[in-house]
Amino acid sequence: MEKTVTEAIHYRRSVRIYQEEPIDSEKVKASIENAVLAPTSSNLQLWEFYQVTDPDIKARIVHACMDQPAARTARQLVVVVARKDKWRDRVRANLGFLEKSFGKKPKSDYTQREKFVFSYYRKIMPSLYTDFLGILGCLKYIAFSIMGAFRPMYRQVRASDMRIVAHKSAALAAENFMLSMAAIGYDTCPMEGHDSLRIKKALGLPSGAEINMVIGCGIRKPEGVYGPRFRVPFEEVYRRV
Please indicate, yes or no, whether residues 12 and 124 belong to a single structural domain of this protein: no
Please indicate, yes or no, whether residues 53 and 150 belong to a single structural domain of this protein: no
Please indicate, yes or no, whether residues 228 and 189 belong to a single structural domain of this protein: yes
C-alpha distances in Å from residue 209, one per residue of 8, 71, 166:
31, 21, 11
Please indicate, yes or no, whether residues 18 and 76 belong to a single structural domain of this protein: yes
Please indicate, yes or no, whether residues 176 and 149 belong to a single structural domain of this protein: no
The closest of 209, 190, 212 to 201, measured between CA atoms, is: 209
Average pLDDT over residues 78-101: 97
Q: How much is the pTM?
A: 0.93
Please indicate, yes or no, whether residues 139 and 35 belong to a single structural domain of this protein: no
What pLDDT is recorded for position 95?
Answer: 96
Please tell me the distance from the alpha carbon of residue 184 to that of residue 188, in angstroms, as a whole number. 12
pLDDT tens-digit series, residues 68-88: 999 999 999 999 999 999 999
Chosen domain end from 139, 158, 177: 158
pLDDT tens-digit series, residues 46-63: 999 999 999 999 999 999
Q: Is the separation of the CB atoms in 216 and 58 below 8 Å?
A: no
Please indicate, yes or no, whether residues 73 and 45 belong to a single structural domain of this protein: yes
What pLDDT is recorded for position 199?
Answer: 98
What pLDDT is recorded for position 148?
Answer: 87
Q: Measured at the alpha carbon of residue 86, what is the angle toward residues 80 and 90, in degrees to the nearest 5?
A: 100
Domain housing 130: 87-158
Please indicate, yes or no, whether residues 110 and 165 belong to a single structural domain of this protein: no
More confident residue, 227 or 133: 227
Please indicate, yes or no, whether residues 79 and 166 belong to a single structural domain of this protein: yes
